[in-house]
């Protein structure tokens, strides 16, 4: 299916005999499962891109009677809606990935942390989960999955804030170390994986790691589900082989007037037209959890930036200074510049602040506010000032 140099793949939603794949996994040794993940080069699909095999290996190495697999289904990054689709269409593969991961690391319990806004999926998911439990218990898995609901806080997608939330506490990121593989939910070794990662893991068991590595590039193996939105004639969910450039992507999805693409949502990077050709979507270029938002020339990049900063000022947990106060300063700062109440050179002070936030904030949220800010301010300075 060659199209504009894009290779559409059908791995995530591919129909498979789940019982057969899980039976195969059940017969594999734990070390074998983990080795498959390591060989596949699979990196986390939530956006941060930590090698899944390593995560499982570290968690498996921890000595603890109790361990957990947590599926991060909090999908809160603006412009991402792939996990909803995956859970709606192929929940058996999400649950299956959890069971395989559980076996590999020695966890008997899996917890799906589901975004609050996806509650409407729950009745259907519960029915499917019952069937899933019956199936894996027939195979011989000693594994059970439960669902916990989020309540709408963006920060609860951050892994340690998510654990706090599951434990019934205020969703605030923890200090690291210790990392989740050592002390995660309920202070037990935990492997926390994105919805899509778990499905991909199951598909790697199905197809074999060698087949998986045929897709993608050295740093970004395999394919990925993208949530395409914004100024595009074809919004929606698309699974594409990794390694394309933004130009290739825009050629496929743009409306002919694309001036920028926000890759990776509010916490991601804004790629301007002049950098489309040189920028690869993936861990060697701009990484993404799947959010791809296209902007055409009718859009004010000031409004885009303001919208993101407003979002962060609201969704910061408020715990650490750089993020809580920094977001407010960036927001107020660009407003002042736009109104002409601050000099345009004030933007460079704000860029310095964004740099501080990147290195001094406690968690990934605060650290990544600067991504969108700096990439928009540096590429669309005139739109911010005038």
- Where along the sequence are the contacts to another protein (CB under 8 A)? 153, 155, 170, 172, 175, 177, 312-322, 324-329, 332-333, 336, 346, 349, 352-353, 356, 358-362, 367
Quote the tokens at residue 294: 């296209």
> In the complex with another protein, which residue's Cβ is closer, 54 or 122?
54
Please provide residue 255's backbone torsions phi and psi, each rounded to the nearest 5 degrees. Answer: -105, 15
Q: How far is the CB of 235 from another protein (least distance, A)?
A: 29
Q: How far is the CB of 163 from another protein (least distance, A)?
A: 16
> In the complex with another protein, which residue's Cβ is closer, 156 or 294?
156
How far is residue 155's CA from residue 140's CA, in Å, rounded to a whole number? 37
Quote the tokens at residue 183: 């002390």
Q: How far is the CB of 346 from another protein (least distance, A)?
A: 8
> In the complex with another protein, which residue's Cβ is closer, 122 or 182?
182
Question: Are 291 and 263 within 8 A, CB to CB?
Answer: yes
How far is residue 100's CA from residue 131's CA, in Å, rounded to a whole number? 17
How far is residue 313's CA from residue 327's CA, in Å, rounded to a whole number? 5
How far is residue 334's CA from residue 341's CA, in Å, rounded to a whole number? 10
Quote the tokens at residue 38: 């390591």
> In the complex with another protein, which residue's Cβ is closer, 139 or 360?
360
Q: How far is the CB of 272 from another protein (least distance, A)?
A: 25
109-114 and 68-73: which strand pairing? parallel
- Contacts for 7 with CB less than 8 Å, ≥ 6 apart: 1, 215, 223, 240, 241
Q: How far is the CB of 381 from another protein (least distance, A)?
A: 19
> In the complex with another protein, which residue's Cβ is closer, 28 or 54?
54
> In the complex with another protein, which residue's Cβ is closer, 92 or 161?
161
Q: How far is the CB of 305 from another protein (least distance, A)?
A: 17
């Amino acid at each position: 299916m060659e199209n504009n140099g894009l290779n559409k793949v059908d791995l995530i939603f591919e129909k498979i005999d789940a019982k057969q794949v899980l039976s195969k996994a059940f017969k594999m040794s734990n070390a074998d499962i983990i080795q498959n993940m390591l060989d596949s080069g699979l990196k986390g699909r939530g956006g941060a891109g930590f090698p899944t095999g390593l995560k499982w290996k570290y968690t498996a190495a921890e000595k603890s009677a109790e361990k957990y697999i947590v599926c991060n289904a909090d999908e809160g990054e603006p412009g991402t809606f792939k996990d909803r689709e995956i859970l709606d269409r192929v929940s058996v593969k999400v649950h299956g990935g959890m069971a395989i991961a559980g076996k590999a690391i020695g966890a008997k319990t899996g917890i799906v942390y589901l975004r609050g806004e996806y509650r409407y999926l729950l009745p259907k998911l519960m029915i499917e989960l019952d069937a899933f439990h019956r199936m894996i218990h027939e195979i011989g898995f000693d594994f059970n999955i439960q669902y916990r609901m989020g309540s709408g806080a963006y920060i609860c997608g951050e892994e340690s804030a998510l654990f706090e939330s599951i434990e019934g506490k205020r969703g605030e990121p923890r200090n690291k170390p210790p990392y989740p593989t050592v002390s995660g939910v309920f202070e037990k070794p935990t492997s926390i994986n994105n919805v899509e990662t778990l499905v991909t893991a199951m598909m790697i068991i199905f197809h074999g790691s060698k087949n998986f590595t045929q897709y993608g590039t050295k740093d970004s193996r395999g394919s990925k589900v993208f949530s395409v939105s914004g100024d595009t004639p074809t919004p929606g969910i698309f699974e594409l082989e990794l390694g394309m450039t933004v130009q290739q992507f825009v050629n496929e999805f743009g409306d002919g007037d694309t001036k920028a693409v926000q890759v990776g949502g509010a916490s991601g990077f804004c790629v301007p037209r002049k950098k489309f050709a040189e920028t690869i979507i993936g861990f060697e270029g701009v990484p993404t959890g799947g959010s791809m938002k296209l902007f055409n020339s009718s859009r004010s990049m000031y409004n885009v930036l303001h919208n993101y900063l407003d979002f962060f000022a609201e969704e910061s947990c408020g715990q650490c200074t750089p993020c809580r106060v920094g977001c407010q300063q960036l927001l107020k700062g660009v407003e002042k510049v736009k109104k002409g109440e601050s000099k345009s050179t004030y933007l460079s002070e704000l860029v310095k602040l964004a740099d501080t936030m990147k290195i001094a904030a406690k968690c990934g949220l605060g650290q990544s506010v600067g991504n969108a800010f700096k990439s928009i301010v540096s590429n669309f300075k005139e739109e911010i000032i005038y």
